[in-house]
């Protein structure tokens, strides 16, 4: 918070999410292109917005410079300090993560000793799921009247889980998690999802396909696939839409229905969050 006060403009978004752990989300636009970031007591993830730009940073990790696209993200572990320079539109969002929050997820979701796990320092990486989750959280805190505690906590937990799985050494150090789905049960539910993408798939139905309880299924599926069942179904629906957009001339409204989206607007919104372009623009680019 003290660092934010040194920037040339206040944040345009500055709010805490409705979660059991303290989670601060902030967004800045139009601040100075050069920024001194001191060593912080929180980890933070930066989402680059506003348009393509060149972002450079110099610090303990050396010098890095990348041309980053909208929706790319950077990771700064607690304790790292950088001097940042941006050549292009200044628009970025931050989410701050307490080390003890990550430690809890490492222990609960991965059954690992948090002292063995560290975040990777990342600049301008792309991950459609991480981008979509970050944008959803930014949307949540930008409309406080619409905040839902359960949704916010699930959204945040999935974000942290996926961040650790893709931007830390937890994957290489993990063994098969306890209570993981047996391969044949996992294969059965994956086949069920693919066969029913156009339908309204519920958690009870997916659990029934594996023969386990919904509670056990949700946790076990996340352990096996790295994402929650809902997020995985969205991934598969977006993939289905990408395939139909490139291989057929079906109208967008028909593609939305075939891939299980409730409406054309939901389809467009979800697709753009995941892919970075609207369905129409994605089709035109292929």
- The pLDDT tens digits along the chain (286 residues) read 888 888 999 999 998 887 767 789 999 999 999 999 999 999 999 999 999 999 999 997 789 999 999 999 999 999 999 999 999 999 999 999 999 989 878 876 777 889 899 999 999 999 999 999 999 999 888 876 555 555 777 788 889 989 999 999 987 554 444 456 788 889 999 999 999 999 888 877 888 888 876 667 878 898 889 888 888 999 999 999 999 999 999 999 999 999 999 888 989 999 999 999 999 999 998 7
Pairing mode of beta strands 82-87, 34-37 = antiparallel
User: Could you tell me which of 84, 11, 79, 7 has the C-alpha nearest to residue 43?
Assistant: 79
CA triple 70-72-78, angle to 5 deg: 135
Domains and CATH numbers, the chain: 2-173 (2.60.120.10), 183-285 (1.10.10.60)
- The reported pLDDT for the residue numbered 75 is 96
Q: Please, which contacts does 240-248 make with residues 24 or more away whose CB atoms are closer than 8 Å?
A: 240/197, 241/267, 241/271, 241/279, 242/275, 242/282, 245/279, 245/282, 245/283, 245/286, 246/283, 246/286
CA 110, CA 98: separation in Å to the nearest integer?
A: 18
| Residue at token pair 């994605």 | 282
* Structure-token pair, residue 233: 């179904």
| Residue at token pair 């693919």 | 194
CA 226, CA 27: separation in Å to the nearest integer?
A: 28
CA 13, CA 28: separation in Å to the nearest integer?
A: 7
User: Can you give the pTM of this predicted structure?
Assistant: 0.61
- The reported pLDDT for the residue numbered 14 is 92
């Amino acid at each position: 918070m003290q660092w934010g006060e040194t920037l040339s403009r206040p944040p345009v978004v500055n709010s805490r999410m409705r979660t059991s752990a303290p989670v601060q989300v902030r967004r800045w636009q139009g601040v100075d292109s050069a920024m001194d970031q001191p060593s912080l007591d929180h980890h933070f993830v930066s989402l680059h917005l506003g348009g393509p730009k060149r972002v450079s940073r110099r610090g303990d990790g050396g010098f890095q410079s990348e041309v980053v696209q909208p929706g790319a993200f950077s990771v700064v572990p607690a304790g790292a300090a950088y001097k940042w320079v941006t050549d292009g539109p200044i628009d970025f969002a931050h989410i701050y993560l307490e080390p003890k929050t990550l430690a809890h997820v490492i222990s609960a979701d991965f059954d690992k000793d948090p002292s063995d796990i560290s975040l990777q320092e990342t600049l301008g990486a792309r991950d459609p799921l991480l981008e979509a989750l970050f944008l959803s959280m930014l949307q949540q805190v930008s409309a406080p009247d619409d905040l839902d505690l359960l949704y916010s906590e699930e959204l945040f937990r999935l974000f942290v889980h996926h961040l650790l799985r893709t931007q830390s050494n937890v994957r290489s150090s993990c063994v098969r998690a306890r209570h993981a789905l047996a391969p044949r049960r996992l294969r059965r539910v994956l086949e069920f999802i693919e066969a029913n993408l156009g339908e309204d798939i519920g958690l009870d139905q997916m659990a029934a396909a594996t023969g386990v309880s919904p509670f056990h299924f949700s946790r076990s599926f996340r352990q096996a696939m790295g994402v929650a069942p809902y997020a995985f179904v969205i991934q598969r629906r977006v993939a289905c839409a990408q395939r139909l957009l490139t291989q057929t001339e079906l109208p967008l409204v028909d593609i939305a229905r075939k891939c299980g989206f409730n409406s054309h607007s939901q389809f467009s919104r979800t697709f753009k969050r995941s892919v970075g372009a609207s369905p129409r623009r994605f089709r035109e680019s292929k």
